[in-house]
Amino acid sequence: MAKKLAVLGSTGSIGRNSLEVVANFPERFEIITLAAGENIKLLAEQAHKFRPKQVACKNEHLAKKLKPLLPKGVKLVSGKEGVISCATHEEVELVVSAIVGAAGLLPTFAAVEAGKDLALANKESLVMAGELLIKEAAKRGVKILPVDSEHAAIFQCLQAGRKEDVSRLILTASGGPFRELPKEDFPKVTPEKALKHPNWQMGAKITIDSATLMNKGLEVIEAHFLFEMPPEKIEVVVHPQSIVHSMVEFVDGSVIAQLSLPDMRLPIAYALSYPERLSLPYPKLNLVELGKLTFEAPDLERFPCLSLAYKALELKGSAPAVLNAANEIAVEAFLEGRLSFDKIPLVVEETLKRADIKPCFSLDEVINADIFARIIAHQIIDELERR
C-alpha cells in the first residue's frame, strides 16, 4: 500500500526534490496534501500532477488567485491554519517538513502532536524547540527522520553501533563560496556572490547560511537534540568536495562515514522509504574519477557564526531560538542590501547579548523569545545603518 504524504513547502528546493522522488515511485507514495507560500503557479501545477486532496497557500488573497487554477475536487485552505490542516490531515502518515525558517515550527509541532511521522528538513524546528519537539515525539511514538544530508548521514552511520559507544559526531561542511576569501574582503561580498554555492543548489536563505557557516552551527544544535549528544561530542570539519556527508566515531576508534554525490534527492528518498532503500535512477559516486577527498578545520575567526551556535547551546533555554531569529533577520537585511556580509555575525552576537535568555517550558515561550529577538535584531541593524 502506498505511503500517504503531506509535503509542506512543496514549491521550495526540498519540496520539489521530494515530489520528484515521489513521481519516480508512484506505486510507493501518494500525495494527500501540499502546502506552499506564494508560488501559486507551481503549486497549481503540482496539484494537477499529484492530485492531492488538499492544498494550502500563504494567505486568502493568494487563495483567491489559486482557486481557479486547481483541479476540481481539491480542497483549498490558506494561512497558518491551512498549513497546519495539511500537516494534520487524517489520512497523512508521513509529513515532509520543508518550510524554510521559523515559519515551519508550528506546522511541524502540530504534525508530531497529531502522531504523524516526520521527514524533517526544517532544522529551525529543532533549533528553536528541540527539547520540546523530541519529548513530544517520544510521547506520541513519532519517528523523526532527518532530511538534511549531514543528519541523514549520521542517522545511517549510527546504525553501525550502539549509541553508548559513540565518542564523536563529525559534521562536514563545504566551507561555502568564501572558504579562501581573506577576511578583509568580507565587507565587499554581494548577495549575488554569496548565492553561488560551489556544490549545492539550495534556497537563498540556506545558501547565505552556508556562506557564513551559520548553517553548520544550526546543524550542530539540530544534531544535539536529534541524537541526544552533548555539544562537546559534536565536531565540524570542512570538506570542500561535499562527498562525505558526515561521520560517527566510536570508542574503539572506528569511524563510519556516509558518502554520496551532493544530491538532496538521496537523503529525501531514504527518509521517505525508511527502513527500506529505493533503487534510485540518479548518478552514482565514482571515487576513481573524484581522485581525492580533503578535510580541514573551520576558521572560527573568519566564520564566527559557528562559535555563536555553540555559545547558544551553552546558554541553553531560549538562546538557540534567539540565535535563529537574529540570523534570519540579519540574512534578510543582507539580501536586501541593508547589511554588509561581515555584519551578519555581529547582529547575531549582539542580539544574544541583549536578549533575556531564559528556560522555555512551552511552545508559546519559544515563540515569544523568537518575536523579541527579531525586534532586537531589527534595532541593531537600524543602529548600524545610522552609523
Please state which of the four CATH numbers 1.10.1740.10, 1.10.10.10, 3.80.30.20, 3.30.750.24 is assigned to the domain occupying 316-387.
Answer: 1.10.1740.10
Q: What pLDDT shows up at residue 386? A: 87
Q: What percent of the chain has pLDDT over 90?
A: 93
Angle at 166 between CA 237 and CA 306, to 5 degrees: 30
Q: What pLDDT shows up at residue 122? A: 92
Residues 6+ apart with CB under 8 A from 195: 204, 207, 208
d(CA 3, CA 29): 5
pLDDT tens track for 14-52: 999 999 999 999 999 999 999 999 999 999 999 999 999
* Site of grid cell 552576537: 349
- Residue 249 reports pLDDT greater than 80: yes
Q: Strand order of the sheet with strand 166-173?
A: 234-238, 166-173, 244-250, 255-259
pLDDT tens track for 91-100: 999 999 999 8
Give Cα 148 to chain centroid, integer Å. Answer: 6
Q: What percent of the chain has pLDDT over 70?
A: 98
pLDDT tens track for 180-225: 999 999 999 999 998 887 666 667 888 899 999 999 999 999 999 9
Q: Which of 143-147, 155-159, 198-202 bottoms out in mean pLDDT, i.e. has the lowest?
A: 198-202
Mean pLDDT of 289-309: 96
User: Residue 101's pLDDT band (boundaries 50, 70, 90)?
Assistant: confident
Mean pLDDT of 215-244: 96
- Residue 248 reports pLDDT greater than 90: yes
* Site of grid cell 556527508: 245
Residues 6+ apart with CB under 8 A from 102: 124, 128, 324, 325, 328, 370
State the cell numbers at 241: 568536495
- Residue 281 reports pLDDT greater than 80: yes
- Residue 327 reports pLDDT greater than 70: yes
Residues 6+ apart with CB under 8 A from 333: 339, 347, 381
Please state the domain extents for the chain: 3-146, 148-303, 316-387
Mean pLDDT over the full length of the chain:
96
Q: Which class in CATH covers the domain with range 3-146? A: alpha beta
Q: What pLDDT shows up at residue 203? A: 74
User: Residue 305's pLDDT band (boundaries 50, 70, 90)?
Assistant: very high
Whole-model pTM? 0.93
Q: What pLDDT shows up at residue 205? A: 87
Residues 38, 14 contacting (CB under 8 angstroms): no
Q: Which residue type sits at 94? A: L
Q: What pLDDT shows up at residue 196? A: 81
